[in-house]
Amino acid sequence: MYDFDYLRPTTVADAVALLAQRSEAKFLAGGQTLLPTLKQRLAQPEAVIDLSRIAALQGIREDGDALVIGAMTLHADVAASALVLRVIPALAALAGEIGDRQVRNRGTLGGSISNNDPAADYPGAVLGLGATIETDRRSIAADDFFTGMFETALDPGEIVTSVRFPVPQRAAYRKFPNPASRYATAGVFVARTVDGVRVAVTGAGATVFRVPAIEDALAADFSPAALTGITVDDDGLNSDIHASAAYRAHLIMVLARRAVAAIS
Amino acid sequence: MPTVTITVNGNTVSRAVEGRTLLVHFLREQLGLTGTHVGCDTSQCGACVVLVDGRSIKSCTMLAAQADGREVTTIEGLAAADGTLHPMQAAFRQHHGLQYGFCTPGMVMSAVELARTTPHLTEQAVRDGLEGNICRCTGYHNIVKAILAGAEAMQVEPVAQAAE
Amino acid sequence: MTNPAGTHPAGANPSGIGASIRRREDQRFLTGRGTYTDDINRPHQVHAFILRSPYAHARIGGFDLTAARAAPGVVAIFTGADLVADKVGSLPCGWQIHSKDGSPMIEPPHPPLVTDRVRHVGDQVALVLAETKAQARDAAELIVVDYQELPAVTGTRDALAPGAPLVHDQAASNLCFDWHLGDPAAVDAAFARAHHVTRIDLINNRLIANAMEPRAAIGEYDRATDDYTLWTTSQNPHVIRLLMGGFVLGIPEHKLRVIAPDVGGGFGSKIFHYAEEALVTWAARKIHRPVKWTADRSESFMSDAHGRDHVTHAELALDANGKFLGLRVNTIANMGAYLSTFAPSVPTYLYATLLAGQYATPAIYAEVRAVFTHTVPVDAYRGAGRPEACYVIERLVENAARELGIDRAELRRRNFIPPSAMPYATPVALEYDCGLFHRDLDEALTLIDYAGFPARKADSARRGKLRGIGFANYIEACGIAPSNIAGALGARAGLYESAEVRFHPTGSVTVFTGSHSHGQGHETTFSQLVSDRFGIPIDKIEIVHGDTSKVPFGMGTYGSRSLAVGGSAIAKAMDKIVAKGRKIAAHMLEAAETDIEFNAGRFSVAGTDRALGIADIALSAYVPHNYPLDELEPGLDEQSFYDPKNFTFPNGCQICELEIDPDTGVTKILAFVAADDFGKVINPMIVEGQVHGGIAQGIGQALMENCVYDSQSGQLLTGSYMDYCMPRADDLPSFQVAYHEEAPCTHNPLGVKGCGEAGTIGGSAAVMNAVVDALADRGITHLDMPATPERVWRALRDAMPAQAAE
């Protein structure tokens, strides 16, 4: 790691101000991606701004027909939250499958989605549930948030403060982990809501994406059998030594069927 | 350089650190607590696992500065002051849950948290719970046995549990 | 009979042979008080960072060190030219192979720091010394190296292709040697009369040992005495002293102390003499300060010797009854860019000599071509050659059984070498002393409930899963080696072991062993040998290892040799203690020496109740007031060098049962059993732990682990745990292991054979045989390792459709 200044604001406004003062600064959430990146010397920030002591970014609460989770809430806390388990159990289950126990004890929702690693799990839930990302300056719909590999709609210096998850009727997430890294080789989040069916795929492409063909088929008939004959085009899917694009395309359908089976 | 104040194994210490100083390097190099090991640089092997405020974390993926004001427990802080092994340590010994011992401190710390937070551990729950700890010696067979036994011993020894 | 750990009848001595006593070393490891090399810091030390090649193959036009030298904290920066100026030698190779035509292998220099050319990603380019590790790394980034990238070759088969880039100009076609073993004419004759021939093409995938402790080294130089000390993560500190002192740095043994403290695993990868050891030792003298280096894991991936990496074609000839007539094997073995310490022995004398396996195949012929590639050197990794041999044989046998419609257990039985044929001279240069192969097979079949397999397979099928079962009947040559034989085969060192047993005046004992423990539990097992023989409690026994200034000499620990060779050396030294004690006792008890009996620590006069404990004898030896001073020197301290008479031959049967999810290609191991013969067992608990770990590495190779290079750029694609798949707890089942002690080794004093590698020898073959069995209904006859989900899924996709009836 290159050396940097470590800064620890206690309010969102201070954090944003600190970042603006520095030419090369980074927000540090749980650090489970940023710190490994810094250790590999793949980034050289002048300052690292730790968001962990900002109280406003913490907490899980029910708000009408939505669940609002503070950006700095740990994966482990989402996984174990009685509220989340009651209201959106699929979200708790997903959080409980991220990384390993130690990662879940440090990693945060806001950090995960702001980083938008193509193999991260949370983007699947955020897009699959049609969540809204609240920042220090605006609300962003999930459909507009994930813009590309490690890219989001966030402006420079913009901080995710919480994510508002509409409560679905039923939802499920199925993940095929990379056997080495345990990141998602492919992950499929299926949600049945009053407005219809949403299906989000993470791990398989440059960024999380929805699959209209699957959504339409499930809207007509919410059953694994409804997916027979549907295929996902492997063009543009990720390909690496662990899984080719063709294999990922196949896995998406297998996982989609399994997620549907789990809730139909 | 920021100054951090951390309670490590019950002793509160203050030290100046670089922003980039990782908790594991703080423990090993500044405090001489070399029981916590570094086995990889991608936050996967788990040889560096310690407890921060009772939660298992990878000390290679946490800045010392982030631990400011927190309580850290390392493998050196697990046994009783008189040297009596913690039930989990004792179970690892009894069930031959270690060979060369390099992954062992992280394994034991993860196991302690796992046992404490999971009421009725099963073999599968132990195996799943060890996703963040790699062992190259044991094939995990005896580690799993040890953790199941250690967890049971922790249940019947509330004193040891309360002390943590 | 089988003795599960912990229930072995230990006899009168609770810490003697056969007792599963808990390990003495665990107290320090469990409390964080182990002392690994990186835990050691020397006063005034500097930290080393090694700048490594980012290219697989490049010419170095020059260096610009100006900015780096000016960086904060930098103490010195050295390049290959500095080593040349100091006449630092090449890293030596300890084993010489001769090709078929009698010519010696091509042995290119292996400089600790390159001068003009890098030959693999990770090759050592420059040594940076600074006050902190971070500063050394910061400075290294400021070094400007003028690289002219050259084409590279990394693939084992590709290395021999016409026009392939040459790794070394002196090795035409990248060929290091072209070696053979066996009788080609006899094999040709066998194939000519064969009823059936089973053929297979297979790849034994490249692996990385991945001991969890990264390598580390600290060099120190004492200006006052001209003494050097090296702390290093080594399985054999004396070998490092010999190789580094003798061949690289020119330091005589009496001026060089090598210490291998607690070592966090080796699995072979810490046998070898590495550049970093020489660099820190040499640099410590240059700058008159201790120099410490610890690898990052990503450095380990590109600098620890790799393992396996064979491409093989093999053929087995059988008669109409399924009797094996002949075996023909042709292998290309990847040596990497340079010859690591024992590299040439691995695909030759540790591989082809084991191709008989447990079978009475009368004619065997093996050809092995070793090639250089632009990759990290390849050397011994747990099993070293023997898993590769087992894989070839057992894959062939399993396919032959299927092709001939003979039950796989039955085909094996028909071909086993029977106990009545022991000792048995194989057609590939070994003489097995003993082995009860039928017995191992029968026990494993019982453990796995082979008879119940069809019902379990049908149950899996009902759930849409493909179930398979696979065998590996392995034998390995361990306890390496009779020095004269090893020497005749090309070893450049002896392969004995030393021990010193020192009785102290008040009856406690220190044992100095040349073996090195890095997880094997020698401090416990060796103590049990002593406790058993001398009848003294274990807490009065200390085992000292890993320090050349304390231990007389040592060849170290690898090849499952510690107990068979190191333990036998201790036994021999104890013989000498007893022999001397007998003389002392005869004097003190006023009896004839021939009348003195020794049993469990007591010297007694035959037929009387007159006796003395060994502690009394020890006291007398050091306080020789009533002592045969005319005949004997005082003291009770004996040394032994034990050179084995033959290899030992651990053997057994492993069976794996697994289930494949055809939707995803994921393989789940459901059961793994091993029925082993390790000869006499000293500590069942430790033995079973060794087997567990070995099996895990076998499963790892079969299903997960794979070292992959990009064939175009020569970049290492599996350079971290993000991509190199290490087995985790949830990848593995619990194992069922059993052993018997009915066939003790016939030629060493303990009757022991070795158990450290056994699990790995057959593990990958058993798993792959089970994978192929699960897929066989779809017409799949082979899959290369690792059988990753995608590989299995593709095989199924491309195979014939499932039979409707199944």
- The residue assigned the tokens 């789990």 is A262
Task: Tell me whether C26 touches chain B (CB under 8 Å).
Answer: yes
Pick from C134, C138, C723: CB nearest A241:
C723
- For residue C575, the SS3 value is helix
Q: Rounded CA gap, B67 and B17, in Å?
A: 12
The verdict on A147 touching B (C-beta cutoff 8 Å) is no
Residue of B nearest to A106 (CA): B57
User: What mean pLDDT is predicted for residues C92-103?
Assistant: 97
- Residue range C55-93, pLDDT digits in tens: 999 999 999 999 999 999 999 999 999 999 999 999 999
Asked if C36 and B141 come within 8 Å (Cβ–Cβ), the reply is no
Closest chain A residue by Cα to residue B50: A102
From the candidate CATH numbers 3.40.50.300, 3.30.930.10, 3.30.43.10, 2.70.98.10, the one assigned to the domain spanning A5-50: 3.30.43.10
Q: Determine the length of chain B.
A: 164
CB < 8 Å to B142, chain C: 689, 692
- Check residue B119 and give its pLDDT: 86
Alpha helix segments (H runs only) across C546-662: 568-588, 614-622
- Encode pLDDT of A189-198 as tens digits: 999 999 999 9
Give CA torsion, residues A235, A238, A244, A246, to 10 deg. Answer: -30
The answer to whether A179 contacts C788, with C-beta atoms less than 8 Å apart, is: yes
Among A2, A180, A243, select the one facing C790 at the smallest CB separation.
A243
Whether residue C668 lies within 8 A of chain A, CB to CB, comes out as no
CA C2, CA C739: separation in Å to the nearest integer?
Answer: 5
The answer to whether C704 contacts A242, with C-beta atoms less than 8 Å apart, is: no
DSSP characters over C332-366 = EEEEESS--TTGGGTTTTTTGGGTTTTB--SEEEE
Give contacts of B19 with chain A, Cβ < 8 Å.
3-6, 48
Cα angle value C750/C754/C757 (rounded, 5°): 175
Residue C287 DSSP SS3: helix
| Distance from C-alpha of C414 to C-alpha of C412, rounded to nearest angstrom | 5
Give the Cα separation of C471 and C658 in Å (integer).
12
Q: How confident is the model at residue B1 (pLDDT cuts 50, 70, 90)?
A: confident
Q: What b/e sequence results for C79-101 when a residue is b if at least 16 CB atoms lie within 10 Å of its CB, and e otherwise?
A: bbebbeeeebbbbbbbbbbbbee
The number of C-beta contacts closer than 8 angstroms across B and C is 179
Q: Specify whether the CB–CB gap between C640 and C531 falls below 8 A.
A: no
**CA–CA distance, C641 with C500 (Å, rounded to integer):** 9
Q: Which of A3, A102, A182 sits opposite B49 (nearest CB)?
A: A102
pLDDT per residue as tens digits for the range C363-381: 999 999 999 999 999 999 9
Q: Do C31 and B101 touch (CB under 8 A)?
A: no
DSSP character string of C535-568:
---GGGEEEE-SBTTTSS----S-TT-IIIIIIH
Q: What is the mean pLDDT of residues B97-113?
A: 98
**Alpha-carbon distance values, C461 to C219, C454, C464, C767 (Å):** 61, 10, 5, 19
Please determine, for residue C3, whether its predicted confidence score (pLDDT) is greater than 70: no
C-beta separation of B4 from B18 below 8 A = no
For residue C709, name the pLDDT band (cuts at 50, 70, 90).
very high
CB-CB under 8 Å, B63 with A31: yes
Contacts of A254 in chain C (CB under 8 A): 663-664
DSSP structure string for C16-72: STT--PPPTTHHHHHTT---BGGG---TT-EEEEEEE-SSSSEEEEEEE-HHHHTST
Nearest CB among B41, B49, B66 relative to A31 is that of B66
Residue with token string 């070994």: C430
Q: What does the mean pLDDT of chain A come to?
A: 97
DSSP conformational letter for C494: -
Tokens of C307: 């393992």
Bridge partners for C204 per DSSP: C310
Q: Where do the H-state alpha helices sit in C149-254? A: 184-192, 237-240
Q: Which residue has the tokens 């699957």?
A: A214
- Chain B environment of C728 (Cβ under 8 Å): 130-131, 133-134, 140
Q: Rounded mean pLDDT of C655-666?
A: 98
Smallest Cβ distance to B76: which of C5, C29, C31?
C31
Residue B32 has pLDDT above 50, yes or no: yes
Residues of chain B in contact with residue A40, where contact means CB-CB under 8 angstroms, are 41
Q: Which residue of B has its CA nearest to C27?
A: B93
Strands C291-294 and C306-318: unpaired
Contact partners, residue A50, CB within 8 Å, separation at least 6: A6, A7, A8, A9, A28, B63, B65, B66
Cβ–Cβ gap A3/B19 under 8 Å: yes
CA-based nearest distance A155→chain C, Å: 30
Chain A positions in Cβ-Cβ contact with residue C133 (cut-off 8 Å) = none
C716-752 tens-digit pLDDT: 999 999 999 999 999 999 999 999 999 999 999 999 9
Nearest CA in chain A to B109: A102
The chain-wide mean pLDDT, for chain C, equals 96
| Domains of chain B and CATH, by start | 3-77 (3.10.20.30), 87-162 (1.10.150.120)
Residue C577 reports pLDDT greater than 60: yes
User: Strand locations in B17-164, DSSP E?
Assistant: 49-52, 55-58, 71-73
Residues found in chain A: 264
The verdict on B62 touching A (C-beta cutoff 8 Å) is: yes
pLDDT category at C96 given cuts 50, 70, 90 is very high
Structure tokens at C754: 């070795």
Closest residue in B to C37 (Cα) is B34
Nearest Cα residue in chain A from B51: A102
Calculate the CA dihedral of residues A87, A89, A93, A98 and round it to 10 degrees: -30
Q: Residue A6: which of B65, B113, B114 has the nearest Cβ? A: B65
Chain C partners (3+ C-beta pairs within 8 A): A, B
Chain C residues 362-381 with CB within 8 Å of chain B: none
Mean pLDDT of A215-231: 96
C8: pLDDT strictly greater than 80: no
What residue of B is the nearest CA neighbor of A40? B41
Cβ separation C793–A247 shorter than 8 A: yes
Q: Which residue of A has its CA nearest to B54?
A: A105
Residue C108 has pLDDT above 80, yes or no: yes
H or E, element range at A253: helix A245-263
| CB neighbour list of residue A12: distance below 8 Å, 6 or more residues apart | A54, A56, A57, A136, A159, A161
Residues 6+ apart with CB under 8 A from C627: C584, C587, C588, C620, C621, C634
Per-residue pLDDT, C204: 98
DSSP designation for C90: P
pLDDT at C802: 59
Do the bridges between strand A146-148 and strand A139-141 make them parallel or antiparallel, or are there none, so unpaired? unpaired
Give how far C718 is from chain B: nearest CA, Å: 13
Distance between CA atoms of residues C73 and C130, nearest Å: 5
Check pLDDT > 50 for residue C135: yes
Write the class of the CATH domain A58-263. alpha beta
Q: How far apart, in whole angstroms, are the C-alpha atoms of residue B42 and residue B63?
A: 15
**Among candidate residues A125, A240, A120, the one with its CA nearest the CA of residue A183:** A120
Using a CB–CB cutoff of 8 Å, tell me whether C267 touches chain B: yes
Tell me what pLDDT residue B157 has.
Answer: 56
- Is the model's pLDDT at C803 over the cut of 80? no
Query: CB neighbours of C89 closer than 8 A, spacing ≥ 6?
Result: C247, C248, C249, C250
How is domain C496-642 classified at the architecture level of CATH? 2-Layer Sandwich (3.30)
Q: Which residues, in sequence order, are bridge partners of residue C642? A: C497
Contacts of A41 in chain B (CB under 8 A): none
| Residue C516, pLDDT score | 94
Phi, psi for residue C634 in degrees, rounded to 5:
-65, 175
Assess A221–B contact: CB distance below 8 Å, yes or no: no
Interface touch B114/A1, C-beta < 8 Å: no
Three-state secondary structure readout of C40-52: CCCCCCEEEEEEE
Residue C117 to residue C111: CA distance in whole angstroms: 11
Structure confidence at residue C4 (pLDDT) = 41
Percent of chain B with pLDDT over 70: 95
3-state helix, strand, coil in chain B (%, to 5): 40, 15, 45
- Alpha-carbon gap, residue C23 to B4, rounded angstroms: 39
How far is Cα A139 from Cα A147, in angstroms, rounded to an integer?
15
Which residues, in sequence order, are CB contacts of A5 under 8 Å at separation 6+?
A22, A46, A47, A48, B19
A1 in contact with B, Cβ within 8 Å: yes
Asked if B42 is an interface residue toward chain C (Cβ–Cβ < 8 A), one would say yes
Q: Is the pLDDT of residue B85 over 90?
A: yes
Mutate to test the interface with C, among A4, A176, A228, A247 (most CBs of C within 10 A): A247
- Asked if C146 has any chain A CB less than 8 Å from its own CB, the reply is no
Question: CB-CB: which of C32, C263, C692 is closest to B35?
Answer: C32
Contacts of C270 (CB under 8 A, 6+ apart): C211, C215, C233, C234, C235, C263, C518
In sequence order, what are the residues at sequence separation of 6 or more whose Cβ sits closer than 8 angstroms to the Cβ of residue C336?
C120, C305, C306, C343, C372, C373, C375, C376, C377, C378
Show the beta-strand stretches assigned E in C465-522. Answer: 466-475, 497-503, 509-513
Average pLDDT over residues C438-457: 98
What count of Cα atoms within 13 Å lies in the side-chain half-sphere of residue C20? Answer: 17
To the nearest whole number, what is the mean pLDDT of chain B? 94
C664 contact residues in A (CB cutoff 8 A): 176, 251, 254
Residues of chain C in contact with residue B94, where contact means CB-CB under 8 angstroms, are 22
- Whether A31 and B62 lie within 8 Å, measured CB to CB: yes
Q: How far is CA A101 from the centre of its chain?
A: 17
- Partner A, chain C 608-667, Cβ-Cβ below 8 Å: 663-664
Edge to edge, the sheet with strand C602-605 lists C596-599, C602-605, C611-613
Confidence of residue A85 (pLDDT cuts 50, 70, 90): very high
Per-residue burial over C398-425, b = 16 or more CB atoms within 10 Å of its CB, e = otherwise: bbbbbebebebbebbbebbbeeeebebe
Residue span(s) of chain A under CATH 3.30.465.10 come to 58-263
How many C-beta atoms lie closer than 10 Å to residue C699's C-beta? 29
- Picking from A208, A199, A203, A210, the residue whose alpha carbon sits closest to that of residue A260 is A199
